[in-house]
Amino acid sequence: AQTVTQSQPEMSVQEAETVTLSCTYDTSESDYYLFWYKQPPSRQMILVIRQEAYKQQNATENRFSVNFQKAAKSFSLKISDSQLGDAAMYFCARQGAQKLVFGQGTRLTINP
C-alpha cells in the first residue's frame, strides 16, 4: 500500500520557538511530489509547502522549510518563529501519477 504516516498526533510549541513535524511515506514511484497542508479550525485546507522528489534541494517558504530524505522516504516540516496563527492540523501528502494521499495529521498547538 502506498501510505503516508504521521507519527505525532499532537505537538505543541512555545510562541517564537521552532517545531518539527514528522512524515514518512511509502511509494514505488520514482517521480512524485510531496506536500504539507494546513487545516485551521475553519477546516479549509491550504497548501504550506511543496517538494518535487527529483529535486535534492529542500523547499523553503518563509518560516516553513522541509527536510526531504528521499532514500529514507522522510519528509519533515520545520516551522521557525512559531506564531499563534500557525495553530492548526497539519497534513503531509504524497502525489504520484495517481491519487493524492494524506497522512492522519498532526495537531499543532502554539503556547503564548
Query: Total binding residues for another protein by CB under 8 A?
Result: 26
Give residues with Cβ within 8 angstroms of 86, minimum separation 6.
38, 79, 108, 110
Q: Which is nearer to another protein, 11 or 101 (CB)?
A: 101
In order, the DSSP letters of 31-69 are: S-EEEEEEE-TT---EEEEEEETT--SPPEETTEEEEEE
- By CB under 8 A, the residues from 23 to 82 that bind another protein are 33, 35, 37, 42-47, 50, 52
* Closer residue to another protein (CB): 56 or 98: 98
Residue bearing cell 509547502: 49
User: Which of 87, 103, 108, 110 is close enough to bind another protein by CB under 8 A?
Assistant: 103
Residues binding another protein (CB under 8 A): 6, 33, 35, 37, 42-47, 50, 52, 89, 91, 95-105, 107
